[in-house]
Amino acid sequence: MLIKRPKGWEMKEREATPESVFRARRRLIAGLGLGGIAAGGLGYLALAERMGDTAPVRSAEAAPAGPVADPSASLYPAPRNEKYQLDRPLTGERFATTYNNFYEFGSHKNIHQEAQRLRVRPWTVTIDGLVEKPLTLGIDELLARVSLEERLYRHRCVEAWSMAVPWTGFAFAELVALARPLSAAKYVRMETFMDPSMAPAQRQSWYPWPYVEGLTIEEATNELAFLATGIYGKPMPAQNGAPLRLAVPWKYGFKAIKSIVRFEFTDRRPKSFWEVIQGTEYGFWANVNPKVPHPRWSQATEQVLGTGERVPTQLYNGYGEHVAHLYADKTGERLFM
């Protein structure tokens, strides 16, 4: 995420990144003659282009770091749901798993190594708030109660880069059915783990930890809303949000909260992490719209991760037929930021 200018709660990358990592990355960038390209933002795309390393790769060719001895490993790969087709090639696994946003581990994109500190077992998920019976269960118990499938989805970051990946997971509607929300519940508020001993950036008190996101119940039960537990036919690597993250492909990527520990059903619209930090730039709805620029850059096009190609961005990231009706009566709302 790009932040306008450091305020009390903001930081420079140097401050966010462990010194050794910061220096190593600077050396790498300098060595490649890319000193003029920002290390964050679209730096990785430029790097891939310059190195000629742009061809998409399939899962078998790549060996990204992932959870060790994950007890759910035998559940993968799950059968693919062919209903969700892509209009572009899949992003190479090594790009999708090495160019990440995971602020709990630092504010740069090369976060996959630090993210290996994430311990994903035991992992407890709490479902509470306005529900018939609050529930706390281990991730493996949850996995046993849902049906896993693979879906190919696009992902459009608000920073104007995109990828297309095979998530494994289950429909959010299945979790809502488990939760049995009361009729007063209008929203689902989701929360990421909070453990500064594992995620050092959570010691930075100017961020409003833990990471929080929210959806309306209608959005959460829309068929596209997906809780992802794996990617590329394997359990989710730490850096992509193990063991449970959201995929809502019609919204900007910051809505796709990672490493969720709590789903709270509520009658109050949740205020998300980025909304608290900079509400004029990152709102609750955050639906993709090429015609509504971010206050500081255009959203008309996006750079495809791994190929560096720039392609037009589509309204609702191309998923309008599934979701446009959700917003028909929301006049006066800032639906696209």
Residues that bind ligand MTE (CB under 6 A): 1, 100-104, 157, 192, 211, 240-241, 253-254, 256-259
Instruction: Kindly state the smallest distance separating residue 332's Cβ from ligand MTE, in Å.
Output: 26
Distance, CA of 30 to chain centre: 29
Q: Say if residue 288 is exposed, middle or buried (CB neighbours under 10 Å; 0-12, 13-18, 19+).
A: buried
Q: Which is nearer to ligand MTE, 112 or 176 (CB)?
A: 112
What residues form DSSP beta bridges with 126? 136, 262
In single-letter form, the type of residue at position 268 comes to R
Instruction: Kindly state the smallest distance separating residue 304's Cβ from ligand MTE, in Å.
Output: 13
The CA-atom distances, in angstroms, between 178 and each of 133, 134, 175, 190, 218 are 10, 10, 5, 16, 16
Q: Which is nearer to ligand MTE, 46 or 277 (CB)?
A: 277
Q: Which is nearer to ligand MTE, 102 or 327 (CB)?
A: 102
Instruction: Kindly state the smallest distance separating residue 117's Cβ from ligand MTE, in Å.
Output: 14
Instruction: Kindly state the smallest distance separating residue 150's Cβ from ligand MTE, in Å.
Output: 16
Q: Which is nearer to ligand MTE, 170 or 252 (CB)?
A: 252
b/e string for 313-322 if b means 16 or more Cβ within 10 A? bbbbbbbeeb
Q: Which is nearer to ligand MTE, 130 or 227 (CB)?
A: 227
Cα gap 167→235, rounded to integer Å: 10
Alpha carbons within 13 A on the beta-carbon side of 295: 11
Instruction: Kindly state the smallest distance separating residue 328's Cβ from ligand MTE, in Å.
Output: 27
Q: Which is nearer to ligand MTE, 180 or 203 (CB)?
A: 203
Cα gap 133→146, rounded to integer Å: 18
Instruction: Kindly state the smallest distance separating residue 94's Cβ from ligand MTE, in Å.
Output: 13
- Under 8 Å between Cβ of 179 and 127: yes
Find the residue with minimal CB distance to ligand MTE. Answer: 253
